[in-house]
């Protein structure tokens, strides 16, 4: 006599609930790990930073060729939504296509004079390591201080910080390179750290951990 075994057809309700629960938990974990909004923001911030880097390079090439940065009038003519991603004949040798941010977001240009410019934007990640710490709090850096919700990242010509209101003296040297350390000593700064020697780039009013600027300098005269 052959014993027949019954075959299980389909899943029970309990098994379906278990599978559904497991899938739900995995879905929550994946959303937490991948966070699509954060990934999109990171990609957009990367694009913004690359665009501003390319703008700075293009402006420096323009300056080397013509002895001046592009004029404010010229930039205001080029920097319009209709030109986003398009070649502009006047500057095509410097910009293959006019740079705009995600969703044709226009970057903000500030042409101060023939030797000085700034370009700024807003990064979605307000904790990005390339955003200067508390840059908007110091009175010296008041030019964008009231606009931290719209601006937090930029590039500029070498004679000024993008968030700084004063142009530094490129010819300074000697005592102009000295910094005043809060413990009463004196020293210099390399990469934001107070030291006793080395190449530095200092700006009047700049405050960094452990020291503060007593003179303004960004010149080749600084040892």
Predicted pLDDT at 55: 97
What is the arithmetic mean of pLDDT over 21-40? 72
Q: Is it the case that residue 172 has pLDDT exceeding 60?
A: no
With residues binned 3-state (H G I as helix, E B as strand, rest as coil), the percentages for the chain, rounded to 5, are 35, 20, 45
Most confident of 124-138, 176-190, 208-222: 124-138
Query: 12 — phi, psi (to 5°)?
Result: -80, 165
Residue 202: band (very low, low, confident or very high) from pLDDT cuts 50, 70, 90: very low
Better-predicted residue by pLDDT, 49 or 214:
49
Q: Is the pTM of this model over 0.85?
A: no
CA 137, 141, 143, 148 torsion-angle sign: negative
pLDDT averaged over the chain? 73
| pLDDT over 70 percentage in the chain | 60
Q: Is it the case that residue 143 has pLDDT exceeding 80?
A: no
Q: Is it the case that residue 171 has pLDDT exceeding 70?
A: no
Contact call for residues 162 and 168 (beta carbons, < 8 A)? no
Q: Is it the case that residue 96 has pLDDT exceeding 80?
A: yes
Q: Is it the case that residue 211 has pLDDT exceeding 60?
A: no
Predicted pLDDT at 14: 76
Q: Is it the case that residue 136 has pLDDT exceeding 60?
A: yes
Q: 29: left (phi > 0), else alpha (psi -120 to 50), else beta?
A: alpha
Better-predicted residue by pLDDT, 129 or 222:
129
Residue 214: band (very low, low, confident or very high) from pLDDT cuts 50, 70, 90: very low
Better-predicted residue by pLDDT, 169 or 80:
80
Walk across the sheet containing 193-195 and list its strands. 193-195, 186-190, 179-181, 211-213, 207-208
Q: Is it the case that residue 190 has pLDDT exceeding 60?
A: no
Q: Measured between alpha carbons, how far is 215 from 191 in angstroms, rounded to an integer?
A: 17
**How many CB atoms neighbour CB 126 within 10 A?**
11
Residue 37: band (very low, low, confident or very high) from pLDDT cuts 50, 70, 90: confident
Q: Is it the case that residue 134 has pLDDT exceeding 90?
A: no
């Amino acid at each position: 006599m052959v014993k027949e075994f019954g075959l299980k057809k389909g899943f029970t309700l309990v098994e379906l609930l278990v599978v559904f629960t497991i899938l739900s938990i995995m879905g929550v974990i994946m959303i937490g790990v991948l966070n699509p909004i954060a990934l999109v923001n990171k990609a957009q911030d990367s694009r913004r930073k690359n665009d501003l880097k390319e703008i700075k390079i293009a402006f420096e090439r323009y300056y080397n060729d013509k002895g001046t940065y592009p004029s404010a009038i010229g930039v205001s003519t080029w920097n319009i939504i209709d030109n986003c991603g398009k070649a502009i004949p006047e500057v095509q040798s410097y910009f293959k296509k006019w740079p705009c941010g995600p969703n044709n977001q226009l970057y903000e240009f500030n042409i101060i004079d023939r030797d000085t410019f700034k370009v700024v934007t807003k990064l979605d990640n307000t904790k990005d390591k390339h955003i200067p710490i508390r840059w908007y709090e110091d009175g010296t850096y008041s030019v964008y201080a009231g606009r931290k919700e719209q601006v937090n990242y930029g590039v500029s010509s070498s004679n000024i910080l993008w968030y700084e209101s004063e142009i530094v003296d490129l010819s300074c040297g000697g005592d102009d390179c000295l910094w005043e350390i809060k413990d009463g000593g004196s020293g210099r700064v390399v990469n934001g750290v107070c030291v006793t020697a080395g190449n530095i780039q200092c700006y009047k009013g700049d405050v960094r951990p452990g020291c503060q600027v007593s003179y303004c300098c960004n010149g080749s005269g600084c040892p």
